[in-house]
Chain A
C-alpha cells in the first residue's frame, strides 16, 4: 500500500440517545464500505462473523448523502428481515446508483451475542465528503 495514502477505517461517534457511524477510505466507495462495518459493529463484533453467504443490493438516490443512507438502510432491512449479519462489503457507485455486495451469515445469538439492533440510518450528522488530505468520509447517526 502507498504509505502516503490515508488508510481506511471506521469508528463510532457519540450521540445522546443513539450512535454515530463514520467510515473513512481512499475513495467514496471505501468510505461506504467502512461505514457498513461500523454499522455492523453497533450490534456485533464484525470479526466474529463468517462471510459464508452473499447478498446483493441496489440503491438509487438523488445525491451521495441520500445514497449513503439508502445503502445503510438496505443493510438494516436485510439484517432484520433475514436475520443476517455482515462482515465484508463491496460497493460500486455510478452517478447516483449503487450496487453493493455484503458477505456474512445468519445471526447466531449465542456466538455473536448481539447487543442493540439498528432501527434505521438517519439524516442527522449526515455527511459524505472528500477531506483535505484526499480521503473520503461517510457518516451519519443511526437510530438504535
Chain B
C-alpha cells in the first residue's frame, strides 16, 4: 500500500481521510512494514466499506489485512440499524464463523514424544479432513434444524463434549436469534454429512507446544506454562455456511437497487438491517454460526477420543473458542453514548477487554483469550483483549498471519512431499490427504505471524501471552 495515501496517527495506526463517497475514515492498525506489504486492493476495499450506509466511526483493518472479496480479510466495520445501517453477506464471508479453539491437555512435551507418530495417525484417522471427506453423523431434517438452533449446546446434548465446555465458547456455545427456516434446503443438504469435519485449505488440527510465555501473571491465570501441550482446532461452518453466503450475496446484489444502495463493489452486497432480507440473512447467518460451533465441538470430541486411547491420563478441557467471520450485535461506546451496533468481523477476531460482561467470569480480570493461528511450520499465538482495544476497533484483533503469496505461486515454489520431509526433520509431523494442498499451505507462503502479532500488541489491540509451536498438524 502506498504510504502517501495514509496519515500516520502513531507508529501502528494509519488513517485514510474520507474522500468522495466515504462516510467515515479508514483506519489501519499495523506497523509501517506491514502496511507497505499490503496490496493496494486492501486500500480500495477499506475505502469501499467506508461508503456503506450507516457505518459508524471508521472502516478498520487489522495488522494481517489482505485482499479479500468486498471487505478486506482482517476488516472490521460496525453499522447502526437506527441510522440506516446495513448487514453485508460479503462482510461476513463464505466460511461463516470459521474460528479457532484451543484445548489444554495437562501434558508436557515429554509425555507425548514416545506416542507422537501413533497420535498423529489416530488423529488423522479420527478427524475427517480434506476434500470429499464426510463425518460419521448424518443429520435428518429435524436433527439439522435442532443443530442450527442449538450450536455447541446441541452437540453436547448429543454426547459430543462436556457441559463445562460451554463456559469457554463465545455466546455460551449457542448464537441466539438463529432462524433455520431461512437456511435453504440446498444449504442443509450440503451439510447433512459434513458435521465433525475439518475441511481443507488453511483449516487444521494441531498439537502444539507452548514454547514461550510473555507475561507470567497472565499465563498463570490462563493456566499455561512453557512446555505445556495444547490442541488447536481451526475450522468453520463447512458447506452450509458457504451455501448461505452464496445465496444471500446474490439476493443482496439484486435487491440493492430497490433499497437505494449503490454498491462500489458487488461483493459488498448488503441490505438494510431492518429490511426483511436483512433479517432473513441475520437469521440464516446466526444458524451458520451455530453450525460452526457444533462442528468444532464434534471435532473436539473426536480429538478427545483419540487422546483417551493413547494417552488416557490427558485431560482435554477447553481454554477458549473464537470465531472469525461473523456479524454480531454488540453494545459499544461511541463518543459519550452507548450504541447497539452490528459489528462485522471478516477474518478478524473478537478481542474483548477485561470486565466485559460477555467474557466468562473466571477470565473477567484478564480479558478474552485471542487465538491467532500461524502456519504448520512456524507458530501460533495466544493473546488477550485489552481495555484499549474496546475503544479502537470495537474490541477486535487480527486472526492469523495472512498469505504473502498466492496458492499458485506456492505450488511453483514448493513440493508437498519435500515440505512434509523438511518439517519432519524439525520435529513437526504432517498428516494430509493432499501433497499439493500441503505445498499451497507451505509456511513460506504466509506472512511472518510474529510481525503481525507484535503489531497487534504494539497497537494495543491485544496483549501477547504465549507462543506455541506445532508438533503435529492434520491438514485437509
Residues on A facing B (Cβ under 8 Å): 12, 14-19, 43-44, 61-62, 65-66, 69-70, 73, 76-77, 80-81, 83, 107, 109, 113-117, 119-124, 126, 141, 143-144
Contact = CB atoms under 8 A, between A and B. Distances in A.
B437 A17 contact: no
A14 B433 contact: no
Contacts of B186: 77, 81
B205 interface: no
Contacts of B66: 16-17
B138 to A, nearest CB: 13
A143 B436 CA distance: 17
A15 B440 contact: no
A15 B265 CA distance: 16
Given A17-B66, A116-B440, A143-B93, A81 B408 contact: no
A78 B137 CA distance: 20
Contact of A124 (B70, B194, B433): B70
Contacts, number: 130
A121 B242 CA distance: 10
A73 B246 contact: yes
Contact of A19 (B95, B131, B250, B407): B407
Contact of B131 (A77, A114, A120): A114
A144 B406 CA distance: 11
Given A15-B406, A143-B69, A117 B199 contact: yes
23 contacts: A12-B408, A15-B406, A16-B403, A17-B403, A65-B266, A77-B239, A83-B132, A109-B132, A113-B435, A115-B131, A115-B436, A115-B437, A115-B440, A116-B407, A116-B437, A117-B199, A119-B245, A120-B246, A122-B70, A122-B249, A123-B70, A123-B253, A144-B201
Contacts of A107: 131-132
Interface of B: 39, 41, 66-70, 73, 90, 93-95, 130-134, 186, 189-190, 194, 199-201, 239, 242-243, 245-246, 249-250, 253-254, 265-267, 269, 402-403, 406-409, 433-437, 440, 476
A109 B133 CA distance: 9
Point out which of A44, A69, A81 has the most chain B C-beta atoms below 10 A from its C-beta: A81
B201 A80 contact: no
B406 A143 contact: no
A70 B250 contact: yes
Nearest to B239: A80
Contact of A14 (B95, B201, B409): B409
A128 to B, nearest CB: 13
Residue of B66, B69, B90, B243 most packed against chain A (CB within 10 A): B69
Contacts of B265: 123-124
A91 B21 CA distance: 40
A6 B429 CA distance: 48
B48 to A, nearest CB: 11
Contacts of B266: 65, 123, 126
Contacts of B245: 119-120
A12 B408 CA distance: 8
Contact of B254 (A19, A62, A116, A119): A62
